[in-house]
Amino acid sequence: MAEHDLTVLMAAQLDQHLVFPLLEFLQEWQLYSEPEFLEAKIRLLSGTNMVDYAMDIHKSLHSTDDVPEDMVKRRAEVVSRLRSLEEAAAPLVAFLQNPQLVQELRPDKQYNIHMLQERYQGSNLPGYVIYCCYMWLHIISI
């Protein structure tokens, strides 16, 4: 059955996060050995920020509580980046969590991308965060 598996061909065309359900499906069918699946998951996770999950898989694969130093360093980088993004996005998150501010914006239809950019331009937010918030505001207004 494994000789007819097209997962490798499909996975090359998919985002890494979309390959996980395919691996889970194949793992249930037991087409490959458990260590092969775990190694494949670790390789797949190496290109993501899902470091804790990769560490858990490594521990289970090697039956140890120790993880490689590169995983520990990568985790520190990911956590640091997460904290800096949380700090940068805090004003915008506070805005979105305030129902009064969001409610005031709906009737006026002033919650456009320009307003968000003007209001939070100096906050060092990545542009995609502002666009995501803009999309969220449009979704809740429907």
Token output for 16: 């890494």
Structural contact between residues 51 and 75, judged by C-beta atoms closer than 8 angstroms: yes
Q: What is the mean pLDDT of residues 21-40?
A: 89
Give 22's contacts (C-beta < 8 A, 6+ positions apart): 7, 10, 11, 14
pLDDT tens track for 91-123: 777 877 888 776 666 555 555 566 666 766 655
The fraction of the chain above a pLDDT of 90, given in percent, is: 30
3-state secondary structure the chain: CHHHCCHHHHHCCCCHHHHHHHHHHHHHHCCCCHHHHHHHHHHHHCCCCCHHHHHHHHHHHHCCCCCCHHHHHHHHHHHHHHHHHHHHHHHHHHHHHCHHHHHHHHHHCCCCHHHHHHHHHHHCCCHHHHHHHHHHHHHHCC
The predicted structure's pLDDT at residue 85: 81
Q: Could you tell me the pTM of the whole model?
A: 0.69
The predicted structure's pLDDT at residue 124: 60
Gyration radius from the chain CA atoms: 21
pLDDT tens track for 32-87: 899 998 999 999 998 889 999 999 999 999 999 999 999 999 999 999 998 988 88
The predicted structure's pLDDT at residue 56: 95
Token output for 113: 């991308």
